[in-house]
């Protein structure tokens, strides 16, 4: 190899190594952020006043943040109903909502949730919520996928 | 008796102003801190300026933690752990790749161009 070509190759090698470590580091950082808060299992269901038991949830379940004031939540609601009809358990977290409006919304549109929690924002904070709706797909107590914004059929078809 | 009453009034005024000063200092400290936290919905704004539900909730949660005795450094670290570094307007200094990558690319281009011209 020509001597003059060595330096650019060394530079490119450094670039490749840096990029590899940078990508690796961000992947690790992303994984570190993902955790299910204990508050999720300590907060009572709005209707039956029972707390969640992880054994009842099974291997795979969904956590969905919604609110009655959120229009995109209404758009994804039929998909949640479909998921529920296929036996998938969904934990609904009602984010910073008025109780009366929330009850009316559930009565009007149906209840696809296995467990409903009314959240003042604490669970949302712990789970790194940016806005509603937001959905977390959980397998073996670990968040596998997070969908920000309303769910589309493509997001759930593999679970149906 | 009159003197005692005056002393009592003076102490009351001093303690009241001290209390107000401390409360205001805490509010100012929190407001300054909010300015360093990015609203992830309207990214150009801090949560201090933003009126989104995300910003309002974040301010409430920070306030709760601050009132429970958590210091701002710990709160900041917790926020970064949850939302990543993009939540802060003051990122850490360990992004050397970001700063040196353009320089490295320029050096590589320089040597590649030089080699080509030398050949010619």
Q: Give the one of A30, A95, A130 whose C-beta lies nearest to B40's C-beta.
A: A130
pTM: 0.74
Q: Which pLDDT score is estimated for A32?
A: 46
Tell me: the pLDDT tens digits for B11-38? 777 777 777 766 666 768 899 999 999 9
| pLDDT for residue A14 | 79
Residue A137 parent element (H or E): strand A134-139
Q: What is the pLDDT of residue A31?
A: 47
- The owner of tokens 């409903």 is A116
Where is pLDDT greater, at A138 or B4?
Answer: A138
pLDDT for A125: 93
Domains of chain B with bracketed CATH: 2-93 (1.10.8)
Burial class (CB in 10 A: 0-12, 13-18, 19+), A20: exposed
Report the residue of B108, B110, B114, B118 to disrupt the A interface, i.e. the one with the largest count of A CBs within 10 Å: B108
3-state secondary structure B28-85: HHHHHHHCCEECCCCCCCECCCCCCHHHHHHHHHHHHHHHCCCCHHHHHHHHHHHHCH
* Contact state of A128 with B105 under an 8 Å Cβ cutoff: no
Question: Model confidence over B50-64: pLDDT tens digits?
Answer: 999 999 999 999 999
H/E element holding A155? helix A153-156
Nearest to A122 among B41, B61, B84 (CB): B61
By C-alpha distance, which of B75, B7, B77, B88 is closest to B40?
Answer: B88
Segment B64-88, tens digit of pLDDT:
999 999 999 999 999 998 998 889 9
Q: What is the pLDDT along chain A (160 residues), one digit of tens a residue?
A: 566 677 777 778 877 887 777 776 655 555 445 578 888 888 899 998 888 888 888 889 999 999 999 999 999 999 999 999 999 999 999 999 999 999 999 999 999 999 999 999 999 999 999 999 999 999 988 888 899 999 999 898 888 7
The whole-angstrom distance between A4's CA and the closest CA on chain B is 7
Unique residue bearing structure tokens 């907060």: A43
Nearest chain B CA: its distance from A160 CA (Å): 30
pLDDT greater than 80 at residue B119? no
Residue contacts between A and B (CB atoms, under 8 Å): 57
* A22 touches B: beta carbon within 8 Å: yes
């Amino acid at each position: 190899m020509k001597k003059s070509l060595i330096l650019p190759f060394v530079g490119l090698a450094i670039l490749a190594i840096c990029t590899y470590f940078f990508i690796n580091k961000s992947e690790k950082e992303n994984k570190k952020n993902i955790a299910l808060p204990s508050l999720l299992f300590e907060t009572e269901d709005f209707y039956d006043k029972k707390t969640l038991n992880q054994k009842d949830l099974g291997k795979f379940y969904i956590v969905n943040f919604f609110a009655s004031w959120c229009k995109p939540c209404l758009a994804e609601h039929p998909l949640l109903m479909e998921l529920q009809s296929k036996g998938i358990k969904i934990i609904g977290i009602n984010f910073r909502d008025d109780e009366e409006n929330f009850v009316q919304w559930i009565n009007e549109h149906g209840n696809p949730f296995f467990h409903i929690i009314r959240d003042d924002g604490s669970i949302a904070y712990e789970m790194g919520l940016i806005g509603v709706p937001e959905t977390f797909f959980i397998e073996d107590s670990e968040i596998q996928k997070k969908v920000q914004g309303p769910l589309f059929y493509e997001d759930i078809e593999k679970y149906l | 008796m009159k003197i005692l009453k005056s002393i009592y009034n003076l102490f009351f005024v001093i303690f009241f102003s001290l209390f107000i000063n401390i409360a205001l200092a805490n509010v100012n400290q929190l407001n300054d801190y909010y300015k360093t936290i990015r609203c992830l919905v309207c990214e150009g704004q801090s949560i201090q300026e933003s009126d989104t539900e995300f910003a309002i909730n974040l301010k409430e949660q920070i306030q709760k933690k601050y009132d429970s005795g958590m210091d701002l450094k710990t709160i900041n670290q917790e926020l970064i752990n949850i939302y990543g570094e993009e939540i802060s307007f003051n990122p850490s200094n360990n992004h050397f790749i970001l700063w040196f990558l353009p320089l490295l690319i320029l050096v590589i281009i320089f040597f590649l161009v030089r080699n080509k011209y030398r050949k010619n």
